[in-house]
């Protein structure tokens, strides 16, 4: 990283707020991730100082196959760049490349109480799901997450609803740190685009698209064209609305949502009009045609992302360069925070 860049990071005149988010490297990224998260990251990269990282330490809490984990990490980096994240604008890095996070995690662990950790919703869920592997890493998952955030003194953390409890805990740990050792850590808050956030359901109408479950009803950024077509053609529909201008059932609404995201306004309008003109005896809308059109438009939308991600993933020298660049940026910021943290605690000898 250039000296100029370091100056900007540490300048008291720094105006851009620090945004940070972590991506779990489990499974394949899908359309829900794209429209719910990645597209927003891409929008934020010009407005904020952004840190985005792959949370591979967190993944170890569930004891995955680590060879697969490694491939997933590479894929997630490649896919994020293919979606428009610019490694020159943001710090895109791998958690395990930044040992400073582990040291801050250690200090924060002394400020986290067993009782509150055991009460965390995600921990209770894991205890239910993997009763044979309730390890300490799982219990202190929110502490590691707090370290991820606080190490860059990030204040805005774009995450979904399910992460709000972790954010609240991160604020508690930061407050306790500041109270005990002095004001070093700003309090981070969950951050999303509220009403603008697009929610995408799985194509069979049963809940959200998922990285690992229900793969036939989820559109992945790595899907080939024929697989995209097959999945969309199998999407749940029905015999059509009973009366004109009906409210759409959620699985139909979902198809329209997808169409709005990838088709032209004219195409969308045509199917909207057909839907609104339809009634029990007079079904104007043809869901088969809608799905065929959506499949074409979706295939066209996903193609460049899939191809770019594959190119990057197979270009190991490029991938290595990007990963090193991200690690350098992240470590520069992390070591500054850690210096302040050590000073505050009095862990600065010699
Ligand atoms: N726990 C987050 C999730 O399950 C991933 C994550 C790890 C994260 N560290 C983070 C998110 C820091 C935001 C900030 O999705």
What is the DSSP pairing of strand 18-23 with strand 189-190?
A: unpaired
Question: Which atom from ligand 1 is nearest to the alpha carbon of 144?
Answer: 9
And the tokens for 342? 């050590």
- Predicted local distance difference test score (pLDDT) of residue 8: 47
- Cβ–Cβ under 8 Å, residues 324 and 92: no
The residue whose C-alpha atom lies closest to atom 5 belonging to ligand 1 is 22
What is the C-alpha separation between 256 and 307, in angstroms, rounded?
26
Please classify residue 12 by burial: count the beta carbons closer than 10 Å to its beta carbon, then call 0-12 exposed, 13-18 middle and 19+ buried: exposed
* Rounded Cα–Cα distance for residues 135 and 128 (Å): 13
Q: Report CA(272)–ligand 1 centroid distance (Å).
A: 38
Residues 95 and 58: their CA atoms lie apart, in Å, by: 9
| pLDDT of the residue at 1 | 44
User: Residue 106 is inside which H or E element, if any?
Assistant: helix 99-109
- Note the pLDDT of residue 304: 97
8-state DSSP, 195: G
Q: Across the chain, where does the E strand assignment appear?
A: 18-23, 49-54, 91-94, 156-157, 189-190
Q: Does the reported pTM lie above 0.85? A: yes
Q: Which residues contact 310 (CB under 8 A, 6 or more apart)?
A: 78, 222
Kindly state the tokens that stand for 38. Answer: 């990645």
Name all residues whose Cβ lies below 6 A of ligand 1: 20-22, 24, 55, 58, 145, 148-149, 157, 159, 163
Q: Are the beta carbons of 258 and 213 closer than 8 angstroms?
A: no
Report the separation in Å between the CA atom of 144 and the middle of ligand 1, taken as the mean of its atom positions: 9
Task: List the domain boundaries for the chain.
Answer: 8-198+315-345, 223-309
Rounded to the nearest angstrom, the distance between the alpha carbon of 158 and the centre of ligand 1 is: 9
Give, for all 350 residues of the chain, the pLDDT tens digit: 444 454 445 455 557 999 999 999 987 899 999 998 999 999 999 999 999 999 999 999 999 899 999 999 999 999 999 999 999 999 999 999 999 999 999 999 999 999 999 999 999 999 999 999 999 999 999 999 999 999 999 999 999 888 999 999 999 999 999 999 999 999 999 997 665 678 899 999 888 887 777 889 999 999 999 999 999 999 999 999 999 999 999 999 999 999 999 999 999 999 999 999 999 999 999 999 999 999 999 999 999 999 999 999 999 999 999 999 999 999 999 999 999 999 999 999 97
Residues written for the chain: 350
- Measured in Å, residue 295 CA sits from the centre of ligand 1 at 32
Q: What is the pLDDT of residue 344?
A: 98
Whether residue 78 contacts residue 312, with contact meaning beta carbons closer than 8 Å, is answered with yes
List 53's β-bridge partners, or say none: 22, 93
- Which of 19, 22, 96 for a ligand 1 pocket mutation test, highest count of atoms within 8 Å of Cβ? 22
pLDDT value of residue 15: 75
* Probe target for ligand 1 pocket from 18, 19, 24, 26, with the most ligand atoms within 8 Å of CB: 24
Class in CATH terms, 223-309: mainly alpha
- CATH ID of 8-198+315-345, from 3.40.50.10860, 3.40.50.620, 3.40.50.720, 3.30.300.20: 3.40.50.620
């Amino acid at each position: 990283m250039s000296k100029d860049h370091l100056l900007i990071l540490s300048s008291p005149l720094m105006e851009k707020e620090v945004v940070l988010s972590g991506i779990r490297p489990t499974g394949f990224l899908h359309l829900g991730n794209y429209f719910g998260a990645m597209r927003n990251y891409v929008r934020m990269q010009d407005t904020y100082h952004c840190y985005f990282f792959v949370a591979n330490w967190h993944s170890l809490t569930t004891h995955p196959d680590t060879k697969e984990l490694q491939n997933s990490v590479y894929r997630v980096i490649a896919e994020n760049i293919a979606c428009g994240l610019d490694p020159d604008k943001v710090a895109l890095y791998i958690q395990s490349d930044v040992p400073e996070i582990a040291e801050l995690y250690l200090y924060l662990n002394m400020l986290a109480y067993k009782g509150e950790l055991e009460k965390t919703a995600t921990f209770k869920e894991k205890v239910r799901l993997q009763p044979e592997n309730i390890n300490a890493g799982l219990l202190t998952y929110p502490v590691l997450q707090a370290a991820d955030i606080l190490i860059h003194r990030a204040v805005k953390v774009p995450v979904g609803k399910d992460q709000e409890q972790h954010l609240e805990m991160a604020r508690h740990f930061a407050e306790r740190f500041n109270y005990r050792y002095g004001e070093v850590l700003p309090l981070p808050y969950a951050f999303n685009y509220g009403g603008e956030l697009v929610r995408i359901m799985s194509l069979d109408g049963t809940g959200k698209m998922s990285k690992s479950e229900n793969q036939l009803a989820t559109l992945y950024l790595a899907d080939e064209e024929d697989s995209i077509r097959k999945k969309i053609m199998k999407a749940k529909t029905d015999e059509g609305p009973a009366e004109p201008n009906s409210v759409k059932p959620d699985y139909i609404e979902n198809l329209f949502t997808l169409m709005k995201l990838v088709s032209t306004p004219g195409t969308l309008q045509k199917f909207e009009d057909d839907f609104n003109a339809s009634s029990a005896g007079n079904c104007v809308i043809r869901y088969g045609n809608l799905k065929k059109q959506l499949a074409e438009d979706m295939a066209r939308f996903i193609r460049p992302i899939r191809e770019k991600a594959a190119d990057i993933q197979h270009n190991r020298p490029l991938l290595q360069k990007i990963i090193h660049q991200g690690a350098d940026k992240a470590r520069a910021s992390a070591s500054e925070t850690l210096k302040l943290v050590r000073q505050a605690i009095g862990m600065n000898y010699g």
